[in-house]
Amino acid sequence: MSTELNLPFEKLIKGQANYKSDNLSFNLLIARLQKKYTANQTQEELKSCLQEMNAYFVKYAVVAAKDVEALRKL
């Protein structure tokens, strides 16, 4: 996954942007990572959350294609 989505991912994780996907698993991932980052707001935790978000999009690229396009606009 390219790093172009790191900024939108970071906004989602920090709660600075709202996004609702049609994909339940992605919505759950967002909620879990937001909670994880809120509990420990360090650069290391943010990096960990970004890696997990990127891994999700690599693994589920076909299913998440619609979300990728929407996230680019955040």
- Three-state SS across 34-65? HHHHHHCCCHHHHHHHHHHHHHHHHHCCCCCH
Q: What is the pLDDT of residues 3-17, one digit of tens each?
A: 678 999 999 999 999
Q: Going by C-beta distance under 8 Å and a sequence separation of 6 or more, which residues neighbour residue 52?
A: 29, 33
Residue 43 corresponds to which tokens in the numbers above? 């650069």
Domain of residue 40 covers 3-71
List pLDDT tens digits, range 13-50: 999 999 999 999 999 999 999 999 999 999 999 999 99
